[in-house]
A = this chain, B = another copy of it.
Amino acid sequence: MDDKFVPNIVVGRLPLYLRTLQLMSQEGRRVTSSQELGERLGISAAQIRKDLSQFGEFGKQGTGYSIDFLTDQLRQILHVNKVWDVAVVGIGDVGHALARYQGFTDRGFRIVLLFDNDPNKVGTNVGGYNIHELSQMVNLIKNAGVLVAMLSVPVDQAQLVANLLIQAGVKSILNYAPINISVPAGVRVQYIDPVLHLQRMTYYLE
């Protein structure tokens, strides 16, 4: 692995490649090609070869990619050859769904801490995890060394809670509140807002 700069848009495609390889592996497959990956993903085979070539030589001309080998390599590149502990803050409907989401398994993440400020929720159990009081969040996250958090609090609390997460040492925030939040250098935010995706599609509808 060399240390050269890789464009963010290329990094963003690697999880798609990894997800597809893991599905192929579950189907009992051993070998694939940039053509097949491209067809499954709607990305050109040339783009996939170019993206992967930024990180090394993973396939042989004519024989394709070993699915297991390329999966291992991508897991290393994306740093999900380990399991990251994740905190979920805000256990409304979305947080509840995240706490019980089965899709994290084998993909590098596990929920370890849940937080909410509703006294009726604190102490109750969702998906096998106790909900902790928001006031304990900074200490518990700091002590557990959690670096990744999912934020599913109301819009008007998102920036405030994000500030606390950063204070606790969190470096990666997946924000479900439909508002952009400010973070210092060294902290990354990604956003999930279904309406942004829906509006991207209605643009093309009459």
Contacts and interface: CB of A to CB of B under 8 A. Distances in A.
Contacts of A14: 199, 203
A65 interface: no
B100 A202 contact: no
Contacts of A180: 16, 20, 40-42
Per assembly, the copies of the chain total 2
Interface residues of A, number: 59
Contact of A197 (B8, B190, B198): B190
12 contacts: A11-B200, A15-B195, A19-B178, A77-B203, A78-B203, A80-B199, A93-B97, A93-B100, A104-B195, A108-B199, A147-B205, A192-B194
A144 interface: no
Interface string A176-206: 0011100000001011111111111111111
B178 A103 contact: yes
Interface in A42-95: 42, 77-80, 84, 86, 93-94
Given A107-B195, A190-B200, 10 more contacts: A19-B178, A19-B179, A23-B179, A93-B101, A98-B194, A103-B178, A172-B204, A172-B205, A190-B197, A190-B198
